[in-house]
């Protein structure tokens, strides 16, 4: 997830450089428009990365401690996968 946020920031920075810092005219492309498109794509990628990171749930670990009839102590941990976790 963190990689998508970094990629979005990179797209935004490259787009801002094309839109505002480079003052070159080429016949085959409008660099200012390409810069604005890259900036918009960067914002979308960052927002999607944040949303996906917020939706990812943490897993719960429940530990039970029980006394057995012979006096021993039994402990058992159970991992409950969160919604969206992949089970392989």
Distance, CA of 55 to CA of 46 (rounded, Å): 14
Supply the pLDDT for residue 87.
45
- Note down pLDDT in tens along the chain; length 88 residues: 567 889 999 999 999 999 999 888 888 999 999 999 999 999 999 999 888 887 776 556 666 677 777 767 666 666 655 554 454 4
Supply the pLDDT for residue 57.
62
Q: 47: which residues sit within 8 A by CB, 6+ positions away?
A: 8
User: Is the separation of the CB atoms in 45 and 8 below 8 Å?
Assistant: yes
Buried b (16+ CB within 10 A) or exposed e, 34-65: ebbebbebbeebbeebeeeeeeeeeeeeeeee
Supply the pLDDT for residue 52.
84
Supply the pLDDT for residue 38.
96
């Amino acid at each position: 997830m963190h990689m998508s946020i970094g990629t979005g920031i990179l797209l935004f920075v490259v787009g801002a450089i094309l839109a505002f810092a480079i003052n070159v005219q080429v016949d085959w492309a409008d660099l200012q428009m390409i810069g604005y498109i890259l900036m918009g794509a960067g914002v979308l990628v960052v927002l999607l990365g944040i949303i996906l990171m917020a939706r990812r749930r943490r897993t719960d670990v429940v530990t039970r401690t029980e006394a057995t009839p012979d006096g021993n102590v039994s402990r058992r941990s159970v991992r409950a996968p969160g919604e969206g976790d992949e089970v392989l």
